[in-house]
């Protein structure tokens, strides 16, 4: 059976895993998980006890959660495509270093802004969270722009899983307007390149429930309640 990626909407960081699967080009399916309603329910917690997306049900029935783990699983299958690298190589270490930065500093910079948007209401608390979050986002952009430099992709001459993960997080700035990305021309260039990529266009369309044209191995969506009957989950 094909792997199934449980991806979160709206605007989950699982977007990067969809892009990575498209770049891999091997058969896979998607299952849409509404946040926060479905993701926090008992049924989904059977797959992921911490109630987060993404989760990947592999072809052999294993469940993998956390973006970094899923991306490294995809990368191991896509070494011949340059998406990932063999463990123990300098390239593997550089990829994991970049993924770790994106997963902590870049992702984490937006956490105060998401909290302010969803929980803080109005008033002084929201203002303070907003100021702190915007400062964190500015620093993360400055650091990542310096790491990217004039390279076409985050790790150099060739796109990798890091670029897939980057675009899923970078689009959060459209919600929060924490920075003007044009102040970071290197990142703006990368963002624009990725936004024109067929896999990214596909991931946007899937998320928005528009007609989506797969350039990879997409084998269709499957409803979450149907996935619960998948024999791999009973093993």
pLDDT tens for 105-151 read: 999 999 999 888 877 566 787 888 889 999 999 999 999 999 999 99
Half-sphere exposure of 34 (CA within 13 A, CB side): 6
Q: How far apart are CA 105 and CA 143, in angstroms?
A: 9
Residues 101, 129 share a domain: yes
Provide the CATH number for the domain around residue 137.
1.20.1050.10
Q: Tell me, what's the pLDDT at 119? A: 72
Low-confidence ranges of the chain (pLDDT < 70): 120-122, 235
| Cβ neighbours for 72, distance < 8 A, ≥ 6 positions apart | 84, 96, 99, 161
Residues 113 and 147 placed together within one structural domain of the fold: yes
CB of 163 closer than 8 Å to CB of 153: yes
pLDDT at 235: 60
Q: Is 132 found in the same domain as 207?
A: no
CA dihedral sign of residues 208, 196, 52, 21: positive
- Shared-domain flag, residues 98 and 176: yes
Cα four-point dihedral sign 208, 178, 19, 69: negative
Residues 144, 66 share a domain? no
Q: Are residues 186 and 219 in the same domain?
A: no
pLDDT of residue 125: 79
The predicted structure's pLDDT at residue 97: 97
Tell me, yes or no, whether 33 and 72 share the same domain: yes
Query: Can you give the pLDDT at residue 55?
Result: 98
Do 96 and 191 fall within a single domain? Answer: yes
As a whole number of angstroms, the distance between CA 17 and CA 7 comes to 8
Question: Domain range for residue 132?
Answer: 90-196
- Cross-sheet strand order for the sheet of 55-57: 63-65, 55-57, 4-9, 28-34, 218-221
Provide the CB-side half-sphere exposure for 135 (13 A, CA). 6
User: Do residues 26 and 64 share a domain?
Assistant: yes
The conformation of residue 106, written as its DSSP 8-state character, comes to I
**CA–CA distance, 186 with 182 (Å, rounded to integer):** 9
Dihedral angle computed from the Cα positions of residues 33, 36, 172 and 75, in that order, rounded to the nearest 10 degrees: -40
């Amino acid at each position: 059976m094909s792997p199934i990626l449980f991806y979160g909407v709206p605007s989950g960081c699982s977007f990067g895993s969809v892009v990575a699967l498209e770049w891999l080009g091997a058969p896979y399916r998607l299952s849409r998980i509404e946040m926060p309603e479905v993701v926090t329910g008992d049924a989904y917690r059977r797959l992921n006890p911490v109630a987060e997306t993404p989760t990947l049900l592999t072809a052999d029935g294993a469940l993998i959660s956390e973006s970094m783990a899923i991306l490294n699983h995809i990368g191991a299958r896509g070494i011949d495509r340059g998406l990932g690298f063999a463990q123990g190589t300098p390239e593997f270490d550089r990829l994991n270093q970049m993924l770790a930065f994106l997963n902590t500093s870049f992702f984490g910079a937006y956490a105060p802004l998401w909290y302010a948007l969803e929980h803080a209401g109005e008033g002084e608390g929201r203002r303070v969270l907003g100021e702190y979050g915007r400062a964190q986002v500015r620093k993360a952009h400055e650091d990542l722009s310096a790491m990217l430099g004039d390279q076409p992709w985050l790790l150099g001459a060739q796109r990798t899983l890091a670029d897939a993960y980057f675009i899923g997080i970078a689009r959060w700035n459209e919600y929060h307007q924490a920075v003007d990305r044009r102040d970071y021309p290197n990142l703006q260039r990368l963002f624009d390149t990725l936004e024109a990529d067929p896999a990214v266009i596909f991931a946007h369309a899937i998320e928005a429930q528009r007609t989506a044209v797969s350039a990879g191995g997409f084998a269709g969506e499957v409803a979450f309640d149907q996935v619960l009957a998948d024999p791999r989950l009973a093993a």
